[in-house]
Structure 1
């Protein structure tokens, strides 16, 4: 009787854990690319055939604060640059702020999103600078403090506090306790000042064009935030931001970096080419780029990471479910510390889990707090990492 109870307990745990089958695991190991943080960039060579003729790689991450994700992505970017001539990196950071990259000998880590102010990003930007790579931001969010100085320099101090006023108005528009009528006039006043700035610029150089685009981003952001204040439709606001980010990428690759190949460094949700409930950046990019676009999602199974607000979080245990597999369970089954798997165009033997819903916790998917996705709908390839840790942040000056 004791043996029977133990057998039933183990059987129950096995069902709840939902491992992939031995055959599926064997196929996955055979078809995947083993990755290591310490290996040279040549470990990515098996992907060359798939990526050589692409024009844009959307390189996602499940969170913005994991050391191992940063190091693997740095390694991958160096390979894409050295071997396949990808010479543009576009970061999910302020387009206006990242213009600082083009100042002499400047490594503008402090103009990135604050969670990326790390040694790994400093090394990546230094590599990009040494290799004469092009770098820009594509976000409409403010991620640094450099744009005011640029506006003052170009426009002769027409309005020396405009960026400070912009940020204060933006905070008020986000604050539910501030009524629209208390802030609308001020927001429209700032929009008119920015329009005056924009019309005064007749850009010729790369920096002047980026500056004008940065001003236009400020105007567009205030418009969609005013609309959000009216209708309080957060999905609509999220879609507005992602559509503007996609528009920035399209503009950058058309007006600033034509005929170049780009790596887009972003979160998984923005890199995804499909979302069941939201209108996200990858979906906005897909009509223009089509088969020239390659999307990669990065997922982890355990460890700790720094969240966007700076708090330290621990990756949860795989969820026990009697019908769905947790992505972490699959990653734990693999013998490698990290791996890359390319998703086939069609389901074939032993790839069913890529074409079925899997559990996906510890990452943002949509505003409905969905925790499942069908990976083949979202991405062309996947990076799996067994364990992550907190990155080494740069010390404040």
Structure 2
């Protein structure tokens, strides 16, 4: 009879395996020279990013994630990647995890206002930072060129800046309709901010649905007149119509379960949603998937798209992540995209090893350093690079790459909790920043309050 392997021999085998993983990462991970974006004064040849030309040669959509919204280096790295993708690989559109209407309205005004104003109008306050601002400088510089970088969004949550733009636009045609728009949007925003009870929502829903349908009819009936106000932005008509569709979808699908969940929480009831149709996290990502698909297939069918969002939204299959305290096994945005778009997508997860990051309230927290040698962060640490990029897309399971194909832990938000997933099932690429810092926020007090809400 064969003797069972000793715990010591099993440990030695595991240590040897971990060493082969480290060797693979050291030999194959790409070390980036810098993550600082190019500026007018500081040119960039992007020589350290040339490997992406092969990795992305047949990919139309690149999804740039982040394990935390509050990490300065993540934003800097993504801005530089976007510059490379736009200049060197012909990507045309940057779509943010922010409102479709807000981002598109800000882009329509980008050449006539400051980059800071465009940033604050376009995206959520979590990214109103010194590190994100160079992207909006870049967008402004390229607005009137032959190859502009088009700014848009794919989230269904409103954040106030769309309303004044649309009101002013509609007022050129019909002042009364413009006022109706403002009032309707204000009521909807209160529902999103959970300032109404479920009973109040039920009482107001049918009227709001009617008002948004009237606004859609106004767009259809006045298309030519509205187009004359923004003759260089013909896509705005379709975008605003889509925004109103999104508002209707929120009224019919999202807001009731979201308000109910909040009321239950306030009353001390912590039961999880009984079904996906009652899960606001899932419903939001479902809406984002539908809007991203609309951008890719209807509004910009011939353009290459870059997506900016949290890892939880851009990874490939959240239903396959264990100990995910946010999604809890529900499918996420990328998982809900049509298969034809998934095949054209390359997803990059961004992770950190040590340092400090911030939560959505801009409060700083130390990054929890991993202790498990089999964690994603510890494996990527073996690259011995400040900025290490592992391209996993074409890798097969073999000696040294087993770590990509086995479930392993990784931190959410730098240590808020530890998820468990198979790296290759979730991402094509991993970019790990060794040492991170909290962003330099450019946010006023009113925006801080809004962001906390």
TM-score by length of 2: 0.76
Which ranges in structure 1 are unaligned for 5 or more consecutive residues?
Answer: 1-10
2:333 to 271, 277, 281: 281
Do structure 1's residue 210 and structure 2's residue 239 form an aligned pair? Answer: yes
Q: 1:266 to 1:365 in 2, by over 3 A?
A: farther
Counterparts of 2:48 and 2:258, CA distance in 1: 49
SS class of match (2:112):
coil
Aligned to 2:323: none
Correspondence for 2:343: 291
Report the Cα distance in structure 1 between the residues aligned to 2:239 and 2:35, rounded to whole angstroms.
37
Residue 337 (structure 1) aligned to one of 382, 386, 394: 386
User: Distance in 2 between the 1:230 and 1:164 partners?
Assistant: 17
- One of 56, 76, 80 as aligned partner of 2:81: 76
Write out aligned runs for 1:1-397 (5 A).
21-37=18-34, 40=44, 41-98=46-103, 99-103=105-109, 104-106=111-113, 107=115, 108-111=118-121, 112-131=123-142, 132-154=148-170, 156=175, 157-159=178-180, 160-172=182-194, 178=197, 180-202=198-220, 203=223, 205-228=234-257, 232=261, 233=273, 236-275=279-318, 276=320, 277-320=329-372, 325-343=374-392, 344-363=394-413, 371-394=419-442, 396=444
Matched residue of 1:65: which SS? coil
Using a 3 Å threshold, how does the CA distance of structure 1 residues 364 and 188 change in structure 2: closer, same or farther? farther
Please tell me the root mean square deviation across aligned C-alpha atoms, in Å.
2.7
Q: How many residues align?
A: 375
Give the match for residue 4 of structure 2. Answer: none
Segments of 4+ in structure 1 off by > 6 A?
17-20
Q: Is the 8 A contact 2:157 2:192 kept in 1?
A: no
Q: Is the 8 A contact 2:35 2:73 kept in 1?
A: no
Q: Aligned in 2, Cα 1:216/1:365: closer, same or farther, shift over 3 Å? A: farther
TM-score calculated relative to the size of structure 1: 0.86
Q: Show CA shifts across 1:337-379 (max 9, x none).
A: 011101144211101111111111233999xx76211111111
Is the CA contact (8 Å cut-off) linking 2:154 and 2:291 kept in structure 1?
yes
- Asked whether the 8 Å contact 2:357–2:414 carries over to 1, the reply is no
Whole-angstrom distance in 2 between the partners of 1:167 and 1:231: 17
Structure 2 regions of 5+ residues with no counterpart? 1-7, 37-43, 143-147, 228-233, 262-272, 321-328, 446-453
Distance in 2, matches of 1:61 and 1:133, equals 21
Residue matched to 2:326: none
Tell me the distance in 1 between the aligned counterparts of 2:91 and 2:26.
Answer: 28
